[in-house]
Amino acid sequence: MKNIAYIGLGSNKGDKVNYLRKAVEKINTDKKCNIEISSSLYETKPLGNRTQENYLNAVIQISTGYTTIELFNFVKNIEKELGRSKTERWGDREIDIDILFYNDLIYSDEIITIPHKGIPNRDFVLVPLCEINSSLIHPELKQKICDINVADSEKCIIRKLLEKL
């Protein structure tokens, strides 16, 4: 398992902690994935439609034998297995799983963009990433994750929870 990927996880519908834990369990029990480290859980305000419930977000670092597209298909299948329903963009969801980084790859097509294009604008991704790897460099921006500042208007984190996934 030679590839290192960082995965963002979020849930704001139903038993949020349970959805996140089930997603982590499915990733970690797959023979081509191994979770190396997980961040704390963060309660965050939603993006877009602000009338929905707050999210719980976390980031995990995995080693994987999957290619980028295989990993994408794998995590999208986990979303389906856990009951994610189609909603509006930035709508509420049982589980959301995003590939944030895959090695130092910079790639984009009609299906996936790596690194995830929202990283520099989302404290709920930057803070947990910095927590688990303070020396991580964004391959496009050539900047340490911990040095990227999110504008005050974009800050979503309400609080860090004591528990981890």
Could you tell me which residue, 34 or 1, shows the higher pLDDT?
34
**Predicted confidence (pLDDT) per residue in 109-161, tens digit:** 999 999 999 999 999 999 999 999 999 999 999 999 999 988 766 789 999 99
pLDDT at position 88 is: 58
List, as one string, the DSSP characters of 22-89: HHHHHHHHSTTEEEEEE-EEEEEPPSS-TTSPPEEEEEEEEEESS-HHHHHHHHHHHHHHTT----ST
Whether the per-residue pLDDT at 95 is higher than 90: the answer is yes
CA distance 18 to 15: 5
pLDDT at position 113 is: 96
Our answer to whether residue 93 is catalytic in this structure is yes
CB atoms under 10 Å from CB of 102, counted, come to 25
Query: CA-based angle 20:32:162, to the nearest 5?
Result: 25
Question: Considering the chain, what percentage of its residues have pLDDT values greater than 90?
Answer: 80
| Residue 90 DSSP class | T
Our answer to whether residue 152 is catalytic in this structure is no
> For residue 93, what pLDDT band results from cuts at 50, 70 and 90?
confident
Our answer to whether residue 104 is catalytic in this structure is no
Task: State pTM to two decimals.
Answer: 0.94
CA distance 150 to 83: 32
pLDDT at position 18 is: 95
Mean pLDDT rounded to a whole number for the chain: 91
Bridge partner residues of 64 (DSSP): 3, 33
Topology of the domain comprising 3-164: Alpha-Beta Plaits (3.30.70)
Our answer to whether residue 84 is catalytic in this structure is yes
Catalytic one among 89, 92, 98, 147? 98
> For residue 96, what pLDDT band results from cuts at 50, 70 and 90?
very high
> Could you state, in order of their start, the residue ranges of all structural domains in the chain?
3-164
Bridge partner residues of 63 (DSSP): 4, 34
